[in-house]
């Protein structure tokens, strides 16, 4: 069903023909990845203008095979590709839009051409399968496999965070954290679990800061400090959260502790400068309010003084 394209215009990358008939050579499928970030353009034969494309998007989103990608030929073709590959596929009607087509863009029994560039793959198949199990079945999983699932969810969360989908990223981090409440059988296993937890707690703290929810950011930062009291990132996140809540003394305490661990960290030092400027503004405001109170008292005394003189006379 897969043949090398012949007689086509020279094209950078691979060129494959997907058709109902013919077997030429063998095909080796790469490992299945359910999520793909790709650029694509679809063309009708002998036409230069695409009938569909996402190449104008600055940051194409992740597409799930079988859900977001429903064209049979495109899904099958993607399973033969790897990250960074650029390919052209020719889909016969049976692998494209069938005998009916998709009016008015796609005529009946149309052969279509897709140019595809795979930017990235994210394999969540094992993770998806894990979360479909019962709690008892999950508990029976080996620790290393559970840690791999948690890491996959964290990487997915990182991708969503980079795409500014902060609520979705937060949910992925929490999903990963939910499976790490394991009872370790040794100190070595506990260290592995804590290392995985620490990364997720730091990511959650940062995500809540970006969501402008400093109370939750502080809570997750403090949970990270329960695992590692000298973690500069956790101290920094807690300091940022306290600064957002105008709790300047607590913010200074966290940031100074972070600075002692990483004295040349620009982010920490800049946050301390910001804190100092906020405190100076706050002090100026307090002085102004105090002066205003004193002025009012002086004015009151000046009004009362003539009355006192009259009473004495």
* Segment 271-308, tens digit of pLDDT: 999 998 887 655 554 555 556 655 666 666 666 555 45
The pLDDT value recorded for residue 126 is 80
User: Is residue 182 predicted with pLDDT exceeding 80?
Assistant: no
- How many other C-beta atoms lie within 10 A of the C-beta of residue 232? 17
Q: Can you read off the two tokens belonging to residue 75?
A: 């899904």
Q: How are beta strands 35-44 and 112-122 bridged, if at all? A: antiparallel
Q: What is the C-alpha separation between 39 and 99, in angstroms, rounded?
A: 27
User: Is residue 165 predicted with pLDDT exceeding 80?
Assistant: yes
Mean pLDDT of 127-134: 86
Contact, 91 vs 71, CB < 8 A? Answer: yes
User: Is residue 212 predicted with pLDDT exceeding 90?
Assistant: yes
Q: Can you read off the two tokens belonging to residue 90?
A: 């020719």
- List the chain domain ranges: 2-123, 126-276
Q: What is the C-alpha separation between 239 and 213, in angstroms, rounded?
A: 14
Q: The domain 2-123 is classified under which CATH number: 2.60.40.10, 2.60.40.420, 3.40.50.12240, 3.10.50.40?
A: 3.10.50.40
Contact, 275 vs 259, CB < 8 A? Answer: no
CA dihedral angle for residue 173, residue 167, residue 274, residue 238, rounded to 10 degrees: -30
User: Is residue 26 predicted with pLDDT exceeding 50?
Assistant: no
Q: Can you read off the two tokens belonging to residue 271?
A: 């946050």
The pLDDT value recorded for residue 286 is 54
Output the CA angle 25-34-24, nearest 5 degrees: 10
Nearest to 207 by CA among 241, 177, 235: 241
Of residues 297 and 19, the one with the higher pLDDT is 297
Q: The domain 126-276 is classified under which CATH number: 1.25.40.10, 3.40.630.10, 3.40.50.1820, 1.20.1260.120?
A: 1.25.40.10
User: Is residue 142 predicted with pLDDT exceeding 80?
Assistant: yes
User: Is residue 116 predicted with pLDDT exceeding 70?
Assistant: yes
Instruction: Provide φ and ψ at 247, rounded to 5°.
Output: -95, 80
Position 38 confidence tier, pLDDT thresholds 50, 70, 90: confident
């Amino acid at each position: 069903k897969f043949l090398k394209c012949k007689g086509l215009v020279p094209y950078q990358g691979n060129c494959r023909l997907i058709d109902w008939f013919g077997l030429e050579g063998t095909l080796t499928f790469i490992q299945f990845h359910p999520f793909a970030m790709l650029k694509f353009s679809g063309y009708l034969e002998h036409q230069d203008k695409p009938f569909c494309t996402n190449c104008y998007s600055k940051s194409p989103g992740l597409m799930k095979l079988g859900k977001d990608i429903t064209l049979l030929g495109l899904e099958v073709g993607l399973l033969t590709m790897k990250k960074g590959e650029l390919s052209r596929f020719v889909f016969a009607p049976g692998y494209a839009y069938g005998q009916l087509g998709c009016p008015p863009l796609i005529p009946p029994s149309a052969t279509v051409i897709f140019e595809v560039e795979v930017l990235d793959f994210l394999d969540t198949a094992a993770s998806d399968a894990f979360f479909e199990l019962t709690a008892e079945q999950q508990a029976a999983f080996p620790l290393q496999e559970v840690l791999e699932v948690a890491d996959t969810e964290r990487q997915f969360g990182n991708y969503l965070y980079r795409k500014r989908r902060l609520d979705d990223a937060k949910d992925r981090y929490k999903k990963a954290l939910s499976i790490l409440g394991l009872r370790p059988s040794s100190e070595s296993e506990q260290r592995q679990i804590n290392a995985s937890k620490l990364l997720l707690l730091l990511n959650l703290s940062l995500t809540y800061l970006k969501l402008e929810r400093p109370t939750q950011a502080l809570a997750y930062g403090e949970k990270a400090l329960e695992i590692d009291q000298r973690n500069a990132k956790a101290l920094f996140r807690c300091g940022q959260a306290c600064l957002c809540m105008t709790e300047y003394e607590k913010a200074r305490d966290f940031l100074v502790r972070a600075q002692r661990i990483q004295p040349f960290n620009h982010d920490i030092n800049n946050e301390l400068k910001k804190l100092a400027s906020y405190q100076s503004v706050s002090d100026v405001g307090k002085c102004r309010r105090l002066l205003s109170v004193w002025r009012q008292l002086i004015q009151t005394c000046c009004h009362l003084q003539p009355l006192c003189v009259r009473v004495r006379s």
